Structure 1
C-alpha cells in the first residue's frame, strides 16, 4: 500500500481487490467514546464478604471475596473505557445514601489494588445517589470526548428507594431522547439470596420512548460468580447497538451487519467508488479507499492477517437468574 494512503480509525488496514474492499477493524467501534463507572455495594450486609478489619483481621487470615472480583471486573471494564480509566465508588455507605469514591482506576492499577470495603458500611441501600452521580459524571465527560456511558451497579440486597430510581431513570431517558444527555446503560447485578429479584425486574424491564431499555440485570448466586456475570452483561449490552451499515459516497447501502461487527469487513463497491462510510452506534467513520495495486491482487491472500477470534466474555452459567432487560 502506498505511503500516502491514510488509514483512519477505527480501521487498521484497508485493501481494494477489484470491486471488493477488505477493511480490518483496529478495535470495536461500538465502544468508541464509552465512559465506564463501577459502583460496588457498601451496605452493612456486605461486611462479611469484605472480611474482618482492625483487630479482628489480626486474629485470622482475612478472606475478602469481593477484592478478586473487583480486580477482574476493573481490568475487563478498563479495556472498554475510552481512556482506560474506570470511575469506581462504594455506594450505600454511611446512612445508606452516601457514596465513597475510590477513584479513576486503570486496568494495570486494578491488578493489585486493595478493596477492603468502605470506611463506613451503610444502614440502607439507597440507589438514587448512584444515578445522580453517574449523570453528573457523564455531563463532565461529554465535554472531553465521551459519547456514551455505562454504569455497572452491584448489590446484595433489596433497594430502599426503588420508586425514586424508576422516576429518575424516566427523566434520564427523556434527556437522552432529546439529545441533552448521551446514550447511557445501567448494568444491574444482584448477588446472593437477599436480592429482590422482582424489584430488579420492575426496574430493568421499563422501556422508554425513543430510547428503549436503559437497564439490564441478572442475579449471581455467589460472590465468586459476580465478575463473570458482569462481563457477560456488559458484552450483551454493547452488542445491542453493535449492528453497522456501510455506505458509499452517495449514501447507498453497500452492506448491513445486524449482529456484532466482524473483525474484518468485506463488501463490494462500485468501480467509481473512492470512499466508504461505516455507521455504527450512531457514529459515522469515513475511510478513503486505497487504489488497487497489482501486488494486492497477486498476494492478498498471504498478506491478509488471519481474522482474530472475537473477544467476548465467557458464557453465562444457566443457574444465573434474571434477564438481559
Structure 2
C-alpha cells in the first residue's frame, strides 16, 4: 500500500478491489480503553497456598502455589489493559473486610514480582469492599480515558456477604445503565472444594435492565489451573458479542455482522465511496479507503472471530461453573 495511506486503529490492513473492501482488524475494538484490576483472596484459608513465612520458611523449602499463577495472570491481563498496568490488591485481609493494595504492575514487573500473601490473613471473606474499590478506581480512570472496566476476583472460600454483593451489584448496574459509570465486567473465579458454587451462580445469574450480565464465573479444582482458567474466561468475556455494522459516508448500512465480529471484514461499497465506518458496542471507527492498485496481489482471508491469543481451555472439571 502507498505510504500516504492512513490505517486507523483498530484496523491493521485495508484493501480495495473494485467495489469490494477487505479490512483486517488489529484487535477487538471493544477492548479499547479497558482498565483491568486483579483482586487475590488473602483470607486465612489461603495461607497454605502461599506457603510458610518467617521461621517456618527456614525449616523447609517454601512452595508458593499462588505466585507463579499471579505472574502468569498479570502478564496476560496487562496485555488487555489500556496502559499495560493492572491494579493489584489482596482482599479479605485483616478482619476479612480489608484490602491490601499491591499497586499497579506491568507485564515486565509481574515476571519477577514476589507474591508472599498479605501481611495479615483475613478472618472472613467479605467481597463488598472489592466492588466499592473497583468502582471508585473506575471513576478516577474515566477522567483519563478509560471506557470499560474488568475486575478479576479470585477466592477459595464461601463469601461472608453474598447478599450485600448482589445488592451493590444491582446499584452498579443502574449507574451503568444511566451512563454514570462505564461498562464493567466482573470475572469471578473459585479455586478448590471450599467455594460455594451455588452462591457464585446466584450472583452470576443476575441480569440487570439495560445492562444484562455483569458477572461470569467458573471453578478451578486446583490452584495450578487458576491462571489458565482466568485467561480463557477473560478472553471470552472481552470478545465482541453484539456484532457490528459497516456504514458508508452517507450513513447507509453496507453490511451487518451478527454474533462475533470476524477478524477480516469483507463488504461492497459504492464506486464513489472514499471511507467507511465500523460501529461496534456503541463505538464508531471511520477508516479512509485506500485507492485500488492493480499490481497488488490480493488474497481473501478466512473469517475468524476476533480473539486475543490465550491458552487452550482448561480441561473439564467436576466443578464446571458457568459463563455469562
Deviation at 1:265, TM superposition (A): 1.9
Question: 1:217, 1:322 → 2: CA distance?
Answer: 6
Indicate conservation of the 8 Å contact 1:150/1:184, yes or no.
yes
Question: 1:198, 1:176 → 2: CA distance?
Answer: 26
Alignment match, 1:189: 189
Give the secondary-structure state (helix, strand or coil) at the position aligned to 1:213.
coil
Deviation at 1:278, TM superposition (A): 0.9
Q: Deviations over 1:36-90 (max 9, x none)?
A: 0000000000000000000100110000000111111111111111111100000
Deviation at 1:307, TM superposition (A): 8.6
Question: 1:258, 1:97 → 2: CA distance?
Answer: 43
Deviation at 1:315, TM superposition (A): 1.6
Is 249-258 or 5-14 further displaced after alignment? 249-258
Question: 1:7, 1:258 → 2: CA distance?
Answer: 25
With structure 2 as the length reference, what TM-score do the two structures score?
A: 0.95
Residues paired across the two proteins, number: 321
* Residues 104-183 of structure 1 mapped to structure 2, 5 A cutoff: 104-183=104-183
Question: 2:58, 2:276 → 1: CA distance?
Answer: 64
Question: 1:62, 1:307 → 2: CA distance?
Answer: 48
Question: 2:206, 2:216 → 1: CA distance?
Answer: 10
Alignment match, 2:24: 24
Indicate conservation of the 8 Å contact 1:35/1:86, yes or no.
yes
Question: 1:215, 1:34 → 2: CA distance?
Answer: 16
Indicate conservation of the 8 Å contact 2:155/2:189, yes or no.
yes
Is the alpha carbon distance of 1:313 and 1:281 closer, same or farther for their aligned partners in structure 2, counting shifts above 3 Å?
farther
RMSD: 1.8
Deviation at 1:259, TM superposition (A): 3.6
Indicate conservation of the 8 Å contact 1:235/1:313, yes or no.
no
Deviation at 1:22, TM superposition (A): 1.4
Q: Deviations over 1:121-153 (max 9, x none)?
A: 000000000000000000010011100000000
* Residues 6-155 of structure 1 mapped to structure 2, 5 A cutoff: 6-155=6-155
Indicate conservation of the 8 Å contact 2:264/2:301, yes or no.
no
Alignment match, 2:321: 322
Question: 1:92, 1:242 → 2: CA distance?
Answer: 35
The answer as to 2:239 corresponding to 1:239 is yes
Alignment match, 1:271: 271
Q: Deviations over 1:86-133 (max 9, x none)?
A: 000000000100000111111111111110000000000000000000
Give the secondary-structure state (helix, strand or coil) at the position aligned to 1:120.
coil
Indicate conservation of the 8 Å contact 2:265/2:303, yes or no.
no
Question: 1:244, 1:307 → 2: CA distance?
Answer: 14
Give the secondary-structure state (helix, strand or coil) at the position aligned to 1:90.
strand
Is the alpha carbon distance of 1:207 and 1:121 closer, same or farther for their aligned partners in structure 2, counting shifts above 3 Å?
same
Deviation at 1:306, TM superposition (A): 9.5
Give the secondary-structure state (helix, strand or coil) at the position aligned to 2:58.
helix
Question: 1:47, 1:271 → 2: CA distance?
Answer: 67
Q: Deviations over 1:218-264 (max 9, x none)?
A: 11111111111111111121125362221112222222223433332
Is the alpha carbon distance of 1:307 and 1:207 closer, same or farther for their aligned partners in structure 2, counting shifts above 3 Å?
closer
Indicate conservation of the 8 Å contact 2:91/2:130, yes or no.
yes
The unaligned stretches of length 5 or more in structure 1 are none
